[in-house]
Structure 1
Amino acid sequence: MTQIAQLSEAEIEARFRVTGVKPVAFLLGGYAKEREPFSVQFGGAAEMFLTTPLAAQVEKGQLIFDCSGSVETNQRLLRSERNIFIGRPGGVHVQFTTGAAREVVYEGSKAFAVTLPQYVVRLQRREYFRIETPRINPLEFFGRLADGTLLKLPVHDISVSGIGVNAAVVPEGIVPGVVLANCHFSLPGDGKDLFFSATIRNVLEQESRGGNRHWRIGMQFNDLSSGDEVRIQRYIAKIERERHELS
C-alpha cells in the first residue's frame, strides 16, 4: 500500500493537494517547461506508457501531453475514460487524475489533450523518501529464486521500505507475493553489501516513448536491519543533495 493510500481524504486535502485552475496550470506548466517525464496509466490501470507534459493552457482549461510511440497504444488511450499521471520531478511524488484524452496538434505535431485536473497531489520530500537512482552506473540488485536461479537486475528506485528494479522480460516465477529469501546489493562508496529477503509487490509492464516495452518489479524489504535503513537514508540524502547542486 502506498503512503497516499494510507491517508484519509481530509489529510490529503490539507497536506498535499494543489487545487484551483490557475495553481494547477502553473504547477503543470512548470513540469512542461522542464519536460519532466510522467507515466500515464489507463484502461483501468492495466496499461501505461511514458509521456511528457507539453503545455498547460489556462484559457482552454487543458493539459497537452506527448503521444506514445505506438499507434495501437494511442488508440487504446483514446478509449480510456480515466487516466492517472504519476511522476517524480525532483524526486517528489506527483500524481493527478484526468478524464478522457483527445487528439490535438501542438506545435505542428500530434499530441493529446485532457481537461486540467481538479487537483494535483504533490508529496513533499519530507513525506516521501523513495527516489529514482542514477541511470549511469545503476545500482545492481542480486537475488535468487526458489529453484536457485540467480537474478541480476538494475535498480530504478529505492526507499527504506523497498526497491524497484527494471527487467527486459519478467523472470519465470516472479509474481506478486513471492518471497526472495537471499537478496543483496551495495551502495556506491559503501564497503559492505546490504543483505535481506524481499517480497514481490507488483510487476508492471511499461513502455518508453520510443515504443520499447520493459517491466518494473517492485519489492518490499522484509528484514532490513535498522543500520542498513540508515545507510539507505544517507544514500538518498546524498543523491538529493547532488541533484539540487546541479539544478
Structure 2
Amino acid sequence: MTQNYQMTDAEIDERFRVSGAKPVAFLLAGYAKTREAFSVHFNHGEDMFLTTLLEVQADKGRLVFDCSGSAESNRRIVLSDKVTFGGHPGGVPVHFSTGKAAETTFEGGKAFAVALPEFIIRLQRREHFRIETPRVNPLVLFARAPNGVLLKLQVHDISVGGIGVDAPELPEGVDLGVTMPNCHFTLPGDPKDLFFSATVRNYHEYESRTGQRMVRIGLQFNDLSNGDENRIQRYIAKVERERHELI
C-alpha cells in the first residue's frame, strides 16, 4: 500500500477529515456518479484489486462497488473484516475504511456492498499558504445563509484561496457545495471591507479548549480581485512577521 493508506489517525490533520453521515454520503455519491476508480485493499492489506464506485444507498447506509475480474479475489474479500479504499479523484488523494463486504447485485451484474464509512480522509492540495488568525482582534465573517439568516462567524484560518470559520452548530441550509454570495470581512488596519462569494468545501465537528462542541467550516473564495488577494497576502505576511518577533 502507499504511504497515504498507512497513516494513523494521530497523524491525520483533522481538517482533512470529512465526517458525518450526510457529508460522507454526499461525497461518495459524487464519486459514484462520475464512476471514479479506486483500489480496494483487504486481508490486512495483503490483497487488493481495482474497482469503481457504483452507487451510494443512503437509506441503507451502504456503498456499492464493482467486483473483481478474479474469482479468487471476490472470494477472499468477503472473508475480510475490514476493507480500505484509496483513490485520486481530481488528483486529490482520498482514503477511507469500512467493515466487511457483502455480495449484492447492481444493474443486473455482480457487485459488493459495504457500510458507509464513519469518515473520509481527503488530502486536499495546499495551493496557498494558510495561517491561523490571531485570537486577539479576530477576523469576523459576515454572510447570509441560504435561508436569509445573517451569519456572524469568527475566522479560524485564512489563505488567499479561502478561510475556515467556526460556528456553534452548522447553520441551516449550509452544506457541501453551497455558495453564499455577498460575504465580507474587514482586515485589521484596512479601512475597506473585502466582498466575495464563498463555496462550502468541507466541515467537521470538534471540541474546543473549553469543552464546547463546535463546527469548523471551510470556505473557498470564488471571485476575489487581484487587489484583494494582495491585501490578504500582506495581512498574512504581517501576522507571520509579528509572530516571529515574539519568539
TM-score after normalising by structure 1: 0.50
TM-score after normalising by structure 2: 0.50
